[in-house]
């Protein structure tokens, strides 16, 4: 049986397909951009829109550093092709705070020292925002499990859990 | 990644037409497996057909009391759907044992079925691999094979299917609905995935120009006595070394119906009806569970690094059946194994 | 008068990090930025016989493809390639230098393109043919070829003889696999072409000045023509001590194109950088029945590359912890066809003390002694390598407070004797030890008449909290609110700093700030004296302090002059001082940090699944500058210890000489669900000998001993002694 998608093997370069215009509502701002089919949402944010708050830690869905909210749901932007999200609402770490105040999660992360190097932090924050919106985590065990898609090599996990509890208002 | 064209399908017929027109095209749904493999140059489609906006995203009761799940329902929506939580908690539990919350938000029901193996050689284009390059050899045999299969292997490939969700679907006797140029057909879940044999490059019996449209669950959901136990190298966000889906229908201490399926042990979710038959009519106790485990693992064969899976699976089967019988299913949050 | 030092001040860089404003090396902007992608070697050893870049060059958007055949000039002596922390012996790796292949994953070509995806695609089209050579990547296979390296630890007596005669003996081999740092940030450099051959290099590094000197040397640049900047570092753990190859390649690309270039390595490519070497450790302990040591032998065989000799102290730690009448230490290196191994959090100690502390546990069992009690019986008040007393050593207190907080008293000695339902419960403990190092360092302070100060230094903050503790120390030294302090780090043009490593940064920066602040104070006093009828007219420099924005007499608090008034008297707007602090040499004392780690595991009896449910780490590390960030340092290190004990292992296929889990899904590090209750205790340890402020540093001590405590707990739970890390469930089930 023929294998799909395994056709092209020669060493000759394949012509690059043209860029495709899309529009995204990024942190509340309607944004038009042109992307190649292979551009991920992560690279579109970081390279095309210069929103470098969203991080690349693996580019393969293995670390969670690239977590953003797409139409309110947390996803790994490194495995999301930007063209597929034409018309979507995207929230990144840059869109969490309002003009006057940090998002309660951001403040809680500072209060609980829920990071060290800070590189996983934007992903942790967006993931935590998604977690709270989903409403499936009530106990620390549930928070731990549902935040396990965000690696923190600095090992800030217990403080991350405490910060999320504070933001959920389940912690004094 | 190699360059590719992008096109969006508007309906199922459109999707089938588009895939039939280009032998090197692939569907993309959540993208969590396909984009990963494209970045590794393992998958090299000339064209991606975006099916993510097809209206296959609903979960509906069927006339015979079962459930019909659209192929594009995200894994997380499926796991938290009230009808699934109530009637098919085994499925909900298995889904929540897999990947991460983010990935489950992205991953589709159909894509989960069609995700490919996590064999390291399959991913590493520098090394031989029959699944990636038919005829090049299997590096896992004689190489690093800790995560590999112990059942249904061939001398050409010992890869496993990595899904958790599919293990529950196998146990629940789901059916897969597909549409191709010749129209619609349905497959028993057990017929969907295949064993490696001489053609390990082919994971499933889906034809190259068919699309998965839905999964159907029969009425019987085993909501009272079930458990999904996933055993892995860390407590979350890791693929199964061995996972077990167990479901029982009990009648006064005796087993009326049993279902038993394993993940992480074979090229497909491994269900063994002989082991299930051996449980039928027996008491729900260690002795009968142990017998069922022995039957299921009778032909198991270990390799250099994965032989431990045979004993792990045996103990895991007994444990999971016990959890099911006692109605204390494994929690995917509290990691204590009860 | 101390008001910030010691408090739980929140990170001053916290806001930048939670809003996404903090920029890391691969995120700096430049006009006409080109993107680079690396092509790696598929084989571990040989020569490139042919490299065809034609197809890659034909891809639209590709600007150039660099290989050893066409690259711009680079230095051709080993000396020029030696960075500040390179191993003394050997010949440092030179990327794209010639046709030689020395490890799998070695960079052999660099594709430069208008965007990253295009460059990556083109990189996949570069066609390479090799002349392959025989290779070896397996430590066990190279065991017998290992050679002895000199170490500072001093054997004494005849350990072999004493061991043979000892009444209770324990001898065993322990194994630590290769581990990779895997900081969350990918290694990256953005090299900005400033015109006229001048470059600004944004790099992921633990030492901007090290990278600056190295690049100037490799590319024959004048110091003023190349500046290295790294304000934020997304974790490094030792991986950023030496300049990594991406910074050389990005610079090479910029020189070739005469435009700005960014190179971000893939996670997979980061497995071609340094690593914690796989190590075989042999311990032989002989004791008398009363639990004192007669003989102690520690041998280690660690991995290095074929071209450099990297080694750290694995074997000398016992001499810091335990008295033994006879002791022998042997450290060997085995050469493999891999990149050079490197420093990784507590290099040498994380591995050596793992083995030592497991061996001590086994000896305690043989002696039927409580493991804490055995350590107390062997406790050494002197460093036996040098026969010196410590500046301070509150390790006894660590044992006491740690045990109490953990509830150690309730432990039943017998393995498999404690249960929680289907779980076997195990309690284990171990000791940790590390060095209290300090380095010469310079700080510049600019104090404005408005009472705001900027503090400059080339040091890096890799997440350890350097920005914050520097702000605290500066605020206290200058008597200003912390919000008035701005810290500027990570720029090679700033005052001299060592690489951020070895846990020396806290002590070094704090004293450099204090020294510079003293100069500022002196100048202010001189200005204050000029004021007519100055209340400080007779004050001596040592009699005044800065507090609340004023210069105040310590003898009479009513005598004070505000900073603003003092500056106005001299008609100046700012005072700028730079001072290099060096530490007095003290050869009469040993300087170390210590810890006692207690761990609880629950192990499913049938399935071998391990959960680390509780860890208590009691640390003695002198004065703690910031209770919050210090806690995080230790907590994070404990998480590393959990990973080391249960998860981490770089897996090789020695047939290909390749790493088969070169990613962060199959190279397991702990996730949130793996980490539960971690309690950190800082034991009071006043120390006016180590340095004037009594600071010892915390970056590494927290990991040392953790893996041993967990391994010992697993034994206590299951009765199974697993000496080969990581302790995976198949080993427990076996
Ligand atoms: C780091 C990581 C960890 C993971 N851990 C787990 C885990 O523990 N357990 C687990 O079960 N899974 C795990 N996954 C895998 C994840 O569940 C799958 O990637 C996901 O389910 C695939 O769904 P998708 O919609 O994203 O598929 P896609 O990537 O879009 O597609 C996958 C394949 O299916 C084909 N396809 C998709 N939809 C259809 C359709 N309707 N008809 C025909 N063909 C179709 C595509 O052409 C493609 O070949 C993990 C993934 C990652 C990246
Ligand atoms: S097990 Fe299968 S997938 Fe893995 S190397 Fe062998 S053929 Fe390839
Ligand atoms: S960068 Fe997307 S998950 Fe790691
Ligand atoms: S804060 Fe450094 S990785 Fe999480």
Residue A9: pLDDT above 60?
no
Q: Give C225: exposed, middle or buried? Use CB within 10 Å, 0-12, 13-18, 19+.
A: middle
Residue C414: pLDDT above 70?
yes
C66-86: pLDDT as tens digits = 999 999 999 999 999 999 999
**CB-based contact C249:C110 (threshold 8 Å):** yes
Which chains lie within 8 Å of chain A at 3 or more CB pairs, if any?
B, C
Mean pLDDT, rounded, of chain C? 96
Q: Which residues of B touch C656 (CB under 8 A)?
A: 126-127, 139
Residue C450: pLDDT above 50?
yes
The contacts of residue C79 (CB under 8 Å, 6+ apart) are none
C20, C465, C678 member nearest A93 (Cβ): C20
Q: How far apart (Å, rounded) are the C-alpha atoms in residues C663 and B13?
A: 39
Q: How far apart (Å, rounded) are the C-alpha atoms in residues C682 and C698?
A: 11
What are the residue boundaries of the structural domains of chain C, listed by start? 34-134+184-236+240-270, 276-437+587-733, 439-581
Q: Which residues of C touch A145 (CB under 8 A)?
A: 672-673
C634-651: pLDDT as tens digits = 999 999 999 999 999 999
State which ligand 4 atom lies nearest to the alpha carbon of C184: 3
Interval C122-144 mean pLDDT: 97
Residue C311: pLDDT above 90?
yes
With a threshold of 0.90, tell me whether the complex ipTM lies above it: yes
Interval A138-143 mean pLDDT: 97
Say yes or no for a CB contact (<8 Å) between B238 and C661. no
Question: Rounded to a whole number, what is the distance in Å from the CA of B35 to chain A's nearest CA?
Answer: 6
The answer to whether domain C276-437+587-733 and domain C439-581 are alike in fold is: yes
Q: Give B107: exposed, middle or buried? Use CB within 10 Å, 0-12, 13-18, 19+.
A: buried
Please give the pLDDT value at position C500: 87
Which of B171, B33, B150, B186 shows the shortest CA–CA distance to B103?
B33
A52, A110, A148 member nearest C10 (Cβ): A110
Question: Rounded to a whole number, what is the distance in Å from the CA of B225 to chain A's nearest CA?
Answer: 23
Please give the pLDDT value at position A142: 98
**CB-based contact C462:C22 (threshold 8 Å):** no
Whether A133 lines ligand 4, by a CB cut-off of 6 Å, is no
Interval A149-161 mean pLDDT: 98
Residue C157: pLDDT above 80?
yes
A15-57: pLDDT as tens digits = 899 999 999 999 999 999 999 999 999 999 999 999 999 999 9
Q: pLDDT-derived band of residue C1, with 50, 70 and 90 as boundaries?
A: very low
| CATH architecture of the domain with residue range C276-437+587-733 | 2-Layer Sandwich (3.30)
pTM, to two decimals: 0.98
Q: pLDDT-derived band of residue A7, with 50, 70 and 90 as boundaries?
A: very low
Residue C2: pLDDT above 90?
no
C502-544: pLDDT as tens digits = 788 899 999 999 999 999 999 999 999 999 999 999 999 999 9
Please give the pLDDT value at position A1: 39
B108-120: pLDDT as tens digits = 999 999 999 999 9
Interval B280-309 mean pLDDT: 97
Please give the pLDDT value at position C333: 98
**CB-based contact B106:B29 (threshold 8 Å):** no
DSSP letters along B58-88, please?
-EEE-TTS-EEEETT-BHHHHHH-HHHHHH-
- Taking the CA of residue B142 as centre, how many other CA atoms within 13 Å lie in the half-sphere pointing to its CB? 10
Q: Minimal Cα distance from C641: which residue of A?
A: A155
Cis amide leading into C726 (omega within 30): yes
* Element (DSSP H or E) covering residue C634: helix C627-646
- Taking the CA of residue C574 as centre, how many other CA atoms within 13 Å lie in the half-sphere pointing to its CB? 11
B60-73: pLDDT as tens digits = 999 999 999 999 99
B101 vs C: CB within 8 A: no
Residue A4: pLDDT above 80?
no
SS3 content of chain A, % helix, strand, coil (to 5): 35, 15, 50
B245-286: pLDDT as tens digits = 999 999 988 999 999 999 999 999 999 999 999 999 999 999
- C666 as an active site residue: the answer is no
Mean pLDDT, rounded, of chain A? 93
Asked if CATH classification 3.30.365.10 holds for the domain at C439-581, the reply, yes or no, is yes
Q: How far apart (Å, rounded) are the C-alpha atoms in residues C711 and C705?
A: 10
Please give the pLDDT value at position A172: 41
Please give the pLDDT value at position C602: 98
Which of A161, A156, A112, A121 shows the shortest CA–CA distance to C8?
A112
Asked if CATH classification 3.40.50.970 holds for the domain at C34-134+184-236+240-270, the reply, yes or no, is no
Question: Rounded to a whole number, what is the distance in Å from the CA of A110 to chain B's nearest CA?
Answer: 24
Interval A108-118 mean pLDDT: 98
Question: What are the structural domains of chain B?
Answer: 5-52 (3.30.43.10), 225-325 (3.30.390.50)
B231 vs C: CB within 8 A: yes
B75-112: pLDDT as tens digits = 999 999 999 999 999 999 999 999 999 999 999 999 99
C42, C124, C607 member nearest B316 (Cβ): C607
Which of B93, B8, B23, B87 shows the shortest CA–CA distance to B53?
B8
Q: What 3-state DSSP class applies to B28?
A: strand
């Amino acid at each position: 049986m023929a294998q799909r998608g395994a056709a092209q093997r020669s060493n000759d370069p394949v012509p690059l397909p043209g860029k495709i215009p899309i529009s995204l509502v990024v942190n509340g701002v309607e944004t038009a951009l042109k992307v190649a089919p292979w551009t991920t949402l992560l690279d579109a944010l970081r390279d095309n829109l210069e929103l470098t708050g969203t991080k690349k830690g693996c580019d393969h869905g293995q670390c969670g550093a690239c977590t953003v909210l797409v139409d309110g749901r947390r996803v790994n932007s490194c495995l999301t092709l930007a063209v597929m999200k034409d018309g979507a609402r995207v929230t990144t770490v840059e869109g969490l705070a309002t003009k006057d105040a940090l998002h309660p999660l951001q403040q809680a992360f500072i209060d609980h020292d829920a990071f060290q190097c800070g590189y996983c932090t934007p992903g942790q924050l967006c993931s935590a925002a998604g977690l709270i919106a989903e409403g499936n985590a009530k106990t620390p065990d549930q928070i731990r499990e549902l935040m396990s898609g965000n690696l923190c090599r600095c090992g800030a996990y217990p403080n991350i859990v405490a910060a999320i509890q504070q933001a959920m208002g389940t912690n004094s | 990644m190699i360059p590719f064209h992008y096109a969006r399908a508007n309906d199922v017929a459109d999707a089938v037409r588009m895939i039939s027109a280009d032998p090197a095209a692939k569907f993309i749904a959540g993208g969590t497996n396909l984009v990963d493999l494209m970045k590794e140059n393992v998958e090299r489609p000339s064209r991606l057909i975006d099916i993510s906006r097809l209206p296959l995203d609903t979960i509906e009761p069927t006339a015979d009391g079962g459930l019909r799940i659209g192929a594009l329902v995200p894994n997380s929506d499926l796991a938290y759907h009230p009808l699934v939580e109530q009637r098919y908690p085994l499925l909900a539990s298995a889904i929540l044992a897999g990947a991460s919350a983010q990935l489950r938000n992205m991953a589709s029901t159909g894509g989960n079925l069609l995700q490919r193996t996590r064999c390291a050689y399959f991913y590493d284009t520098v090394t031989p691999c029959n699944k990636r390059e038919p005829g090049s050899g299997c590096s896992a045999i004689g190489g690093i094979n800790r995560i590999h299969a112990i059942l249904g292997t061939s001398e050409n490939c010992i890869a496993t299917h990595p899904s958790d969700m599919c293990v529950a679907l196998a146990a629940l006797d789901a059916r897969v609905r597909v549409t191709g140029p010749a129209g619609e057909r349905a497959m028993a879940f057990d017929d969907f995935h295949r064993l490696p044999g001489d053609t390990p490059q082919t994971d499933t019996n889906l034809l190259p120009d068919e699309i998965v449209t839905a999964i159907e669950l029969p009425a019987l959901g085993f909501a009272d006595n079930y458990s999904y136990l996933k055993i892995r190298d860390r407590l979350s966000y890791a693929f199964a070394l061995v996972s077990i889906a167990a479901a029982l229908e009990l009648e006064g201490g005796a087993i009326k119906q049993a279902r038993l399926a394993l993940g992480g042990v074979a090229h497909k979710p491994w269900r063994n009806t002989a082991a299930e038959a051996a449980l039928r009519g027996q008491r729900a106790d260690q002795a009968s569970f142990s017998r069922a485990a022995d039957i299921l693992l009778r032909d198991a064969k270990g390799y250099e690094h994965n032989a431990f899976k045979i004993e792990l699976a045996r103990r895991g089967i007994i444990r999971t059946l016990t959890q099911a019988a006692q109605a204390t299913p494994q929690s995917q949050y509290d990691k204590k194994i009860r | 008068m101390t008001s910030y030092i010691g408090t739980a001040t929140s990170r001053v860089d916290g806001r930048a990090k939670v809003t996404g404003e903090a920029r890391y090396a691969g995120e700096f902007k430049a006009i006409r930025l080109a993107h680079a992608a690396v092509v790696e070697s598929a084989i571990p050893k040989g020569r490139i016989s042919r490299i065809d870049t034609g197809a890659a060059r034909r891809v639209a958007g590709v600007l150039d493809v660099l290989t050893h055949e066409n690259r711009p000039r680079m230095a051709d002596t080993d000396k020029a390639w030696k960075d500040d922390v390179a191993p003394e012996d050997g010949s440092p790796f030179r990327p794209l230098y010639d046709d030689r292949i020395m490890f799998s994953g070695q960079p052999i070509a660099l594709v430069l393109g208008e965007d990253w995806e295009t460059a990556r695609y083109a990189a996949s089209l570069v066609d390479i043919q090799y002349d392959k050579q025989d290779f070896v990547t397996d430590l066990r296979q190279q065991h017998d070829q290992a050679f002895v390296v000199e170490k500072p630890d001093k054997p004494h007596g005849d350990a072999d003889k004493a061991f043979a005669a000892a009444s209770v003996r324990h001898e065993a081999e322990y194994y630590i696999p290769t581990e990779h740092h895997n900081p969350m940030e990918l290694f990256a450099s953005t090299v900005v072409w400033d015109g006229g051959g001048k470059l600004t290099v944004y790099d992921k590094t633990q030492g901007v000045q090290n990278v600056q000197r190295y690049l100037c040397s490799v590319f024959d640049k004048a110091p003023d023509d190349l500046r290295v900047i790294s304000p934020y570092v997304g974790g490094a753990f030792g991986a950023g001590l030496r300049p990594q190859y991406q910074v050389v390649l990005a610079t090479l690309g910029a020189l070739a194109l005469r435009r700005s270039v960014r190179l971000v390595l893939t996670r997979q490519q980061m497995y071609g950088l340094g690593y914690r070497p796989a190590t075989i450790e042999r311990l032989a302990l002989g004791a008398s029945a009363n639990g004192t040591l007669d003989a102690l032998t520690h041998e280690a065989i660690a991995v290095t590359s074929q071209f450099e000799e990297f080694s750290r102290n694995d074997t000398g730690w016992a001499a810091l912890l335990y008295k033994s009448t006879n002791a022998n230490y042997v450290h060997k290196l085995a050469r493999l066809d891999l990149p050079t191994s490197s420093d990784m959090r507590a290099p040498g100690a994380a591995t050596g003390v793992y083995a030592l502390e497991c061996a001590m546990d086994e000896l305690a069992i043989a002696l039927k002694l409580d493991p804490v009690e055995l350590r107390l019986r062997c406790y050494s008040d002197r460093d036996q390598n040098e026969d010196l007393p410590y500046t301070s050593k509150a390790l006894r207190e660590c044992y006491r407070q740690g045990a109490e907080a953990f509830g150690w008293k309730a432990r039943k000695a017998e393995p498999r004797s404690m249960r929680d339902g289907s779980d076997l419960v195990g309690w284990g403990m171990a000791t940790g030890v590390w060095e209290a190092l300090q380095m010469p360092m310079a700080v510049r302070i600019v104090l404005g008449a408005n009472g705001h100060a900027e503090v400059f230094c080339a040091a890096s903050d890799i997440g350890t909290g350097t920005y914050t503790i520097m702000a605290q120390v500066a605020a206290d030294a200058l008597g200003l609110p912390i919000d008035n302090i701005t810290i500027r780090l990570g720029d090679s043009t700033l005052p001299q700093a060592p690489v951020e490593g070895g846990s020396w940064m806290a002590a070094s920066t704090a004293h450099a700030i204090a020294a510079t602040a003293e100069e500022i104070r002196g100048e202010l006093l001189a200005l204050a004296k000029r004021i007519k009828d100055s209340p400080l007219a007779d004050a001596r420099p040592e009699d005044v302090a800065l507090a609340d924005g004023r210069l105040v007499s310590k003898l009479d608090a009513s005598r004070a002059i505000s900073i603003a008034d003092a500056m106005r008297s001299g008609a100046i707007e700012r005072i700028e001082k730079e001072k290099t602090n060096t530490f007095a040499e003290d050869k009469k004392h040993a300087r170390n940090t210590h810890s006692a780690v207690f761990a609880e595991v629950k192990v499913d009896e049938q399935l071998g699944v391990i959960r680390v449910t509780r860890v208590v780490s009691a640390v003695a590390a002198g004065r703690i500058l910031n209770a919050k960030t210090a806690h995080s340092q230790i907590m994070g290190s404990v998480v590393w210890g959990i990973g080391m004990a249960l998860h981490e292992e770089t897996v090789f296929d020695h047939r290909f000489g390749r790493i088969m889990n070169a990613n962060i899904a199959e190279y397991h590090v702990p996730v949130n669900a793996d980490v539960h209750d971690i309690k950190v205790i800082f034991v009071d340890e006043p120390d006016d000998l180590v340095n004037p402020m009594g600071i010892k540093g915390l970056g590494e001590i927290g990991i040392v001993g953790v893996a041993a405590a967990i391994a010992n707990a697993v034994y206590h739970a299951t009765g199974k002694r697993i000496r080969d890390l990581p302790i995976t469930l198949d080993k427990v089930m076996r």
